[in-house]
Amino acid sequence: MAEDCEVATPLKDAVEVDESYFGAHRVRGKRGRGAYGKTIVFGLLKRQGKVYTEIVPDCSKATLQGIIRGHVEPATIIHSDGWRGYDGLVDIGFDKHFRVNHGENEFAIGDRHINGIESFWSYAKRRLAKFNGVPGHTFYLHLKETEYRFNHRRDNLYLEILKLLRLKPL
């Protein structure tokens, strides 16, 4: 499943990008975005299509733009929130970059929103919460399974898994 999710890119047309933090609740007293001790996941969602996720070490401009460059075609419309890691996308060839500023209670302005990727984060966190904690060494596999299930949400999952097993038997 994880391998199948990795070949789902490059994404084109309209793509939503966002990052999310997975792990225990925020530790009180720690400064910053509440990410101490959490796993950071970056996601790209083709509108009305598939999602691609990647575990990242940080949400820096270099990290996020490197992933975007590797998985999104340059003529694509990119929708993001106001995080500074997305600054400069126009400079690297993504001329159509639209933002929503959650800090100013901006969540959707016409077609400018990231509700699709936020929906995936909600689905992923609900799904992973059922396990009452996922060990760090298996988190990647759980994340990719969630990604696979989301990408095949309109298909018969049983038949899709059988296809995978025929292509790559255990």
**pLDDT by residue (tens digit) across 55-92?**
999 999 999 999 999 999 988 999 998 888 888 888 88
What integer pLDDT is reported at residue 62 of this predicted model? 93
pLDDT interval class at 122 (50, 70, 90) = very high
Structurally, how many domains does the chain consist of? 1
- Rg, the chain, Cα only: 16
Choice among 32-46, 57-71, 122-136, 153-167 with the minimum mean pLDDT: 32-46
pTM over 0.95: no
Give the structural domain span for 55: 2-167
What integer pLDDT is reported at residue 46 of this predicted model? 94
The residue among 119, 137, 133 whose CA lies nearest residue 51 is: 119
What CATH number did the domain enclosing 55 receive?
3.30.420.10
Give the Å distances, CA to CA, from 95 to 60, 73, 89, 151. 20, 11, 7, 27
| Cβ atoms of 67 and 85 closer than 8 Å | no
What integer pLDDT is reported at residue 63 of this predicted model? 94
**pLDDT by residue (tens digit) across 90-109?**
888 888 888 887 766 667 77
